[in-house]
Amino acid sequence: MRDYPRLVSVFNKYRPDVVFHAAAHKHVPLMESCPQEAIRNNVFGTMNVARAASLHGVKKFIFISTDKAVNPSSVMGATKKMGEMIIQSFDQNSETVFAAVRFGNVLGSHGSVIPLFKRQIAEGGPVTVTHPDIVRYFMTIPEASRLVIQAGGLAKGGEIFILNMGEPVKIVDLATKLIQLSGLRPDKDIKIEFTGLRPGEKLYEELWTDSEKTAATSIKDIMISTDDPVSPKEVEQKLQELAESLDGSSHDIKVCLSKQIPTYKPRFTESDYDEVEFD
């Protein structure tokens, strides 16, 4: 999706009516160390797909966002918030209906803790959890798929739909239950080891900000953010500043990203201050 001419050729060939845009770099700690790649992919890649969809008369474009976009503590979350802004910006100047769907973790998806815990249990442990108090929202793949498609059906343009994720789950409780379901005893047969929060990681995620207004929809488990979108002109300026920052250090890029997303509070490491070297 970073290759716009190739995207255009794919759209020319297949002429899709509906696009569900789920492609993204989503590994939080890795994106902390590679903010350039997160922005190139999650921000400018999203812009490319949205542009191609609008150009080729796609009827509906649904952007898959994340709870990590709310008050982001990570580069990954901040880039997904930029993606929401881009989608709402395109909707204001296109015949294509653009909307976003925001939700939490999907059980069993690529990168989910469930396959990791199962593998660690099969290897005799330990099962690694970052923090004893860390909690996450979870949803199954069928639930997430169904609600995303239903939100797409509701979309009339510019919405950010928020899926009801139920109550958050403590990750240590999830690890304990998986060990027990394997016929083993936690901390006796299989040790649970706490490794510390990873770069960019929060103890808990949120589905909307304290100041964000939400409203119900005709579907019980789908809400909608009613906040006003950022203007296309402002989004264009944000993208220009982000593009200009990409040749700088990770520190400079994160500072620039925090300027575009005021709710993003970056965390810096020593490596962030290293200048990018080019041949």
pLDDT in tens, 45-88: 999 999 999 999 999 999 999 999 999 999 999 999 999 999 99
On whether residue 173 sits in a domain, the answer given is no
> 230: helix, coil or strand?
coil
On whether residue 65 sits in a domain, the answer given is yes
Q: What is the CATH number of the domain that holds 58?
A: 3.40.50.720
On whether residue 249 sits in a domain, the answer given is yes
pLDDT of residue 274: 64
pLDDT of residue 109: 74
pLDDT exceeds 80 at position 237: yes
On whether residue 124 sits in a domain, the answer given is no
pLDDT of residue 275: 55
Are 61 and 50 within 8 A, CB to CB? yes
| Amino acid occupying residue 95 | E
In this prediction, residue 131 has a pLDDT band, given cuts at 50, 70 and 90, of very high
On whether residue 265 sits in a domain, the answer given is yes
Tokens in use for 42? 């999650």
Instruction: Output the CA angle 74-261-7, nearest 5 degrees.
Output: 80
On whether residue 149 sits in a domain, the answer given is yes
pLDDT exceeds 60 at position 153: yes
Task: Count the Cβ atoms, other than its own, within 10 Å of residue 171.
Answer: 22
Helix (H) / strand (E) element for 257: namely helix 250-260
Domain of 247, in residue numbers: 4-106+139-164+206-273
Average pLDDT of every residue of the chain: 91
Report the DSSP beta bridge partners of residue 24. Answer: none
Per-residue pLDDT, averaged over 180-186, amounts to 94
CA-to-CA distance for 90 and 39, rounded, in angstroms?
A: 18
On whether residue 59 sits in a domain, the answer given is yes
In terms of pLDDT, which residue wins out, 206 or 6? 6
pLDDT, tens digit, 9 for 90 and up, residues 10-41: 999 999 999 999 999 999 999 999 999 999 99
Number of domains forming the structure of the chain: 1
On whether residue 94 sits in a domain, the answer given is yes
pLDDT of residue 258: 96
Query: Which residues are identified as catalytic?
Result: 68
